A and B are shown apart, each in its own frame.
Chain A
Amino acid sequence: MDKNAFFEGCGKEGPIRCIFFCEFHPTTGPKISVQVPADFISKDTFEAVSVYLITKAQLLRSTLTVTFSGIKILGYPVRIENKKYPRNAYHFNICFVCDAWARTAQYETVVKKLSEFLTVLEVENGFLSQWEENPMNAIRLEKMMTQALHDLNSTGKCTISEGCSTTHLKVTKLRPDPAPVLDHQVPVVVDNLDAYESEQWDLTTQQILPYIDSMNHVAKIAALADVENNLVRTCLQNLVYYGVISMVPIFQYSNCYAVTSKLKKLAHDKKLQDDCLRAVSRSSWQLPNFRDIFRLYCSMNHGTTVKDLCLRFNLQAMKVDERKLVQFGLVEKIIRRIHKYPTIVMEGLTGEAVSLYPYFTGGFNVDEICCRLSMSTLHLETLVEKDHNVTVVYR
């Protein structure tokens, strides 16, 4: 194993190394009762950190992660109060141990759920506290933990049954929050939608999905599907989170695009090239030349509109669909849209388009203003042109 690949802060996820169950013994204090694999955490190690595992009342039922000497322990301390226990309460904590370099936030909910499952078992039939009466329980708990350790590490899922109770554990991938979805953007399906069952989606998403055709923008989808704008945005943001769709700016022949430094990837990555050829071709049986496509992307810059590209090159003969070309570029971030931001030059002065000044703060681009006001780009640009107090920032 390459040691350098795993350092603290590498941001990678790591496997669970050990699961242990610790409890507060009325006479001997905190101790590890069961652990798989055995003796992973020594008694001394445990004692050094037991204050974070069998905790004071204020820290109960919170996810605690403590990192020290190369390991990380995640726990969710629980206390069950009942007169039947020797000190009127029973403390326990089921903990996952990981490497210190690994990200562990994804396990937090799993630990919590497992802990709550054990709480239920304990409250219902004393599964945890009555080992002297029922020595089989300790063995069953160990089995349960072994299964969880194995299943969670290999498949990320685990189903645990004990008596007539069952719980399902799943490690969910944590992703960064998706960017807000705006009314003038266009959702594009990037994942294979057939891989998902339609029942998986909520009702609103099911209502919206048929209208996602890489052409309709959010506001239009809302109108077509007869769903409130904000609901549509929420659903789409959810789909963005799961990587099913990607949001791109609306396509117009008057738009300008510029290449980004990701173009290098297209030049080197064979698979991306193949995907690109398939994605941008006009028909499925005749693929365009990669060189032509690369030339087209290279020709996209701040001063060149899509219309100019169509005039300069014979896209029909190249078998390239310009709309798909732009869309593929945007989704793969090979190109980016050059937005126009009408901005007032001097506050206080007025001009022809004074009614639109609230939108000319420099924070709204032409697409957004047009979408808000249901105005054509051409009309807006003529208005801006006439007004000497408004200038357009391209970026």
Chain B
Amino acid sequence: MDADPLSVFLVKRDSKGDRLLFKYPYKKKTLNSKDPGASANEQPTSRRRKANPYSLIVPEEEPRSLDSECRFSDEVLSSLFAVKQELCDAKFELKVNNVRFVGHPTLVPCEPLMLVNVVFSLQALASHSIVKCYYGLSKSLGIALRHEERRCGYLSEQVQIMTAAHEDRSEDANNDNYNPFELIAEQCSLAKDLEKVYNDLINYGQIHLRINGWVYVGFDLPQKVHHLHNRGVKVSSEALKQHMEKLRPYHGILLLVDPSFLIDTLFPDCSPTLIRLVKIYTPLKSFQVLAADADLTLRTVCNLACHLVYLGKAIIIYPICESNVYIAAPNNVLLASSPLVEKFAETFPGRSLIQTVAAFPFPTSIRQTISPINGNSYTETQIIIWLLQHRLLVQLHTYIYYMPTNKGLHQLDLPGSGVTKSEGSICEISTPSETLSLSGLDSDGGDSTGDEAGASGWETEDFLARVSSEERTTLINTPASPHQLKLLVRLIQQNYLTGEHHIEDIMYMENLRRSQILQLLDKFRDVLFTCETEDPTLEIFNPSG
């Protein structure tokens, strides 16, 4: 994928000139060049069968070609990466044809002054946010090296070993079989670290490394770690950040790995609050409840959750409860031959993944999946969790649109907009628009004591007076109680019925019960349209088509 590095380079420049000290992967002399097509698709694409010269070739996943930048000699690369002093300690980015090089040239104040640059080469298609991540990695590696040089002269020592290996070649008479990089990779711990960096990026998208066994360099590529969980998921650090700003206290987290495994793999010096959160974690509870359980502030819990999401350990969900409605994820291809089928059968003996997913032909709530006679609600919930972790299900939410007339959504007269859109309005001038904002302050307790007319309240009347006659007639003729009419007016005025908020959101924001809203939907079904769609704020975690 785009986020994988093509290779990593280490370049230095000092008084003796510039040199490419190490690169990985390097060409191994003994190894026969692997056929790039060999590892390609096991999938039988019948489209490929046709040997028509004009046929359309659809690349599934391009085999990585390392040739593109390997045609440059080491000398050329070192002259490119050993930048002039003016460009030091800043972002270095160079694109040559279809390869992009990114690095952070670092000046190391040793004797004599040296410049090191850890450069990653990426496909030119790689997005800006990926490039930014790699820049960050190069920068932290550079800083770590500078620190180790200051502490114990680590860098000079390593550079010396590498330079010696390079110079041995020139002395050796038959140097055909001599590859300095192989020698360096054997002898030099820094080269081993860079090798590990490259391999970990390709395999895990994460790095936990101690340079010289001392300075910790940690790095995480969200694009890659989320891609490893599901090939269809496309996230970037920017998108995640935007997404995290939309989180609500009623959201929850779903860990993608086993909690005990997560605690084991966490670093010993990680925040104890994180461990506390993971210990009491359950996908059935919202942030608010989790915060209370873990005795942490809501803000801390949200921050920790964002952290886990960035690291690819968790995704954000609406906490699993009986009323949640799910369908099979639209863009997640589920093949009968998929390894998931076997994995599922191992986790839940006697169950078939295909049949389980096929049991969601239309939006189905958890309550419906649990059979009332012999249902084991624990297993069913575990199955739902498993399916959500593997993105085979998505949750649907009900959105409400208040559409009283043919003109579309009800237009709110915004205070200060000057022009009111209502026709036939009686008291539009006499009603100061500020009173609208007071409607939320009205206490609910007052309703129960008053008679019918009192309960409907003056806000309702005011609202009715301001809408068109057609709309008014429809609302008044609906056989609903004044409380319900009042609630409807309140929700309209708070802009909840424009398709932006789902039922759970309204319940949380307005402190309502689900039954109250469902009754409202039933009574006012002529003017309230509902539709069930995915929550756009959580769509980022679902595979895209």
CA A302 to CA B361, docked complex, whole Å = 7
Segment from A85-93, A149-157, A230-238, A321-329 that makes contact with B: A230-238
Q: A302-B327, A394-B361 are in contact. Are A345 and B354 (CB under 8 A)?
A: yes
* Interface of chain A residues 1 through 59 with chain B (CB within 8 A): 8-9, 11, 44-45, 47-49, 51-52, 56, 58-59
Q: Could you list 12 A-B pairs, sorted by A, with CB under 8 Å?
A: A48-B83, A51-B80, A63-B96, A230-B56, A259-B532, A264-B499, A268-B498, A290-B408, A294-B401, A302-B363, A346-B352, A362-B338
* Interface of chain B residues 58 through 91 with chain A (CB within 8 A): 58, 71-73, 76, 79-80, 83-84, 86-87, 90-91
Contact residues in A for B124 (Cβ distance below 8 Å):
105
Q: How far is the CB of B124 from chain A (nearest CB, A)?
A: 8
Binary contact readout B343-361 vs A (1 if CB under 8 angstroms, 0 otherwise): 0000000001011011011
CA A113 to CA B91, docked complex, whole Å = 29
Q: Which residue of B is nearest A295, CB measured?
A: B529
* Interface of chain A residues 282 through 304 with chain B (CB within 8 A): 289-291, 294-295, 297-298, 301-303
**Is B132 part of the binding interface, using a Cβ–Cβ cutoff of 8 Å?**
yes
Contact residues in A for B80 (Cβ distance below 8 Å):
51-52, 59
* Interface of chain A residues 362 through 377 with chain B (CB within 8 A): 362-363
Interface bracket on B: 35 or more
CA A57 to CA B11, docked complex, whole Å = 20
Q: A234-B56, A263-B533, A362-B333 are in contact. Are A393 and B71 (CB under 8 A)?
A: no
Is the CB–CB distance between B72 and A68 below 8 Å?
Answer: no
Q: Which residue of A is nearest B237, CB measured?
A: A9
Binary contact readout B142-164 vs A (1 if CB under 8 angstroms, 0 otherwise): 00000000000000000000000
Contact residues in B for A52 (Cβ distance below 8 Å):
80, 94
CA A259 to CA B330, docked complex, whole Å = 12
B residues touching A (Cβ–Cβ < 8 Å)?
Answer: 43, 50, 52, 54-56, 58, 71-73, 76, 79-80, 83-84, 86-87, 90-97, 124, 127-129, 131-132, 238, 327-338, 352, 354-355, 357-358, 360-363, 399, 401, 403, 405-409, 498-500, 529-536, 539, 545
**Is A123 part of the binding interface, using a Cβ–Cβ cutoff of 8 Å?**
no
* Interface of chain A residues 336 through 395 with chain B (CB within 8 A): 336, 341, 343-347, 360-363, 391-395
Contact residues in B for A48 (Cβ distance below 8 Å):
83-84, 86-87
Q: How far is the CB of A29 from chain B (nearest CB, A)?
A: 14
Q: How far is the CB of A263 from chain B (nearest CB, A)?
A: 6
Q: Which residue of A is nearest B131, CB measured?
A: A9
Is the CB–CB distance between A360 and B336 below 8 Å?
Answer: yes
Q: How far is the CB of A299 from chain B (nearest CB, A)?
A: 9
Contact residues in B for A64 (Cβ distance below 8 Å):
94-96
Is the CB–CB distance between B533 and A259 below 8 Å?
Answer: yes
Q: Which residue of B is nearest A344, CB measured?
A: B336
Most buried by B among A231, A273, A394: A394
Contact residues in B for A363 (Cβ distance below 8 Å):
43, 333, 335
Q: How far is the CB of A70 from chain B (nearest CB, A)?
A: 10
CA A233 to CA B56, docked complex, whole Å = 7
Q: How far is the CB of A201 from chain B (nearest CB, A)?
A: 17
Contact residues in A for B332 (Cβ distance below 8 Å):
395
**Is A139 part of the binding interface, using a Cβ–Cβ cutoff of 8 Å?**
no
Q: How far is the CB of B62 from chain A (nearest CB, A)?
A: 12
Most buried by B among A231, A264, A295: A264
**Is A130 part of the binding interface, using a Cβ–Cβ cutoff of 8 Å?**
no
Is the CB–CB distance between B94 and A343 below 8 Å?
Answer: no
**Is A228 part of the binding interface, using a Cβ–Cβ cutoff of 8 Å?**
yes
Contact residues in A for B92 (Cβ distance below 8 Å):
68
Is the CB–CB distance between A395 and B330 below 8 Å?
Answer: yes
Is the CB–CB distance between A291 and B128 below 8 Å?
Answer: no
Is the CB–CB distance between B530 and A298 below 8 Å?
Answer: yes
Is the CB–CB distance between A392 and B358 below 8 Å?
Answer: yes
Interface bracket on A: 35 or more
What is the total of A-B residue contacts with beta carbons within 8 Å? 188
CA A58 to CA B409, docked complex, whole Å = 63
Contact residues in A for B336 (Cβ distance below 8 Å):
343-345, 347, 360-362
Question: B79: which of A51, A63, A237 is its contact (CB, 8 Å)?
Answer: A51
Q: A68-B91, A291-B405, A302-B361 are in contact. Are A264 and B86 (CB under 8 A)?
A: no
**Is A261 part of the binding interface, using a Cβ–Cβ cutoff of 8 Å?**
yes
**Is A224 part of the binding interface, using a Cβ–Cβ cutoff of 8 Å?**
no
Contact residues in B for A62 (Cβ distance below 8 Å):
96-97
Contact residues in B for A45 (Cβ distance below 8 Å):
86
**Is A66 part of the binding interface, using a Cβ–Cβ cutoff of 8 Å?**
yes
Is the CB–CB distance between B93 and A345 below 8 Å?
Answer: no
**Is A243 part of the binding interface, using a Cβ–Cβ cutoff of 8 Å?**
no
**Is A126 part of the binding interface, using a Cβ–Cβ cutoff of 8 Å?**
no
CA A194 to CA B132, docked complex, whole Å = 44
Q: How far is the CB of A262 from chain B (nearest CB, A)?
A: 9
Contact residues in B for A294 (Cβ distance below 8 Å):
401, 403, 408, 529
Given A51-B84, A181-B56, A273-B408, 19 new contacts (CB under 8 A): A59-B96, A65-B93, A65-B95, A67-B91, A68-B93, A180-B58, A233-B56, A259-B531, A261-B533, A298-B531, A343-B358, A345-B336, A347-B336, A361-B335, A361-B337, A362-B334, A362-B337, A391-B358, A395-B329
Q: Which residue of B is nearest A358, CB measured?
A: B44
Q: Which residue of B is nearest A259, CB measured?
A: B531
**Is A260 part of the binding interface, using a Cβ–Cβ cutoff of 8 Å?**
yes
CA A49 to CA B88, docked complex, whole Å = 12
Contact residues in A for B87 (Cβ distance below 8 Å):
48-49, 68-69
Binary contact readout A221-246 vs B (1 if CB under 8 angstroms, 0 otherwise): 00000001011011001000000000
Q: How far is the CB of A162 from chain B (nearest CB, A)?
A: 28
CA A391 to CA B76, docked complex, whole Å = 59
Is the CB–CB distance between A393 and B354 below 8 Å?
Answer: yes
Contact residues in A for B96 (Cβ distance below 8 Å):
59, 62-64
**Is A193 part of the binding interface, using a Cβ–Cβ cutoff of 8 Å?**
no
Is the CB–CB distance between B55 and A230 below 8 Å?
Answer: yes
Contact residues in B for A394 (Cβ distance below 8 Å):
327-328, 358, 360-362
**Is A267 part of the binding interface, using a Cβ–Cβ cutoff of 8 Å?**
yes
Q: A267-B409, A290-B406, A291-B405 are in contact. Are A59 and B338 (CB under 8 A)?
A: no
Is the CB–CB distance between B329 and A47 below 8 Å?
Answer: no
Q: How far is the CB of A50 from chain B (nearest CB, A)?
A: 9
CA A52 to CA B83, docked complex, whole Å = 10
Contact residues in A for B127 (Cβ distance below 8 Å):
9
Is the CB–CB distance between B72 and A393 below 8 Å?
Answer: no
Is the CB–CB distance between A301 and B56 below 8 Å?
Answer: no
Is the CB–CB distance between A9 and B79 below 8 Å?
Answer: no
Is the CB–CB distance between B533 and A267 below 8 Å?
Answer: no
CA A347 to CA B530, docked complex, whole Å = 41
Q: Which residue of A is nearest B93, CB measured?
A: A67
Q: How far is the CB of A102 from chain B (nearest CB, A)?
A: 11
Most buried by B among A231, A294, A297: A294
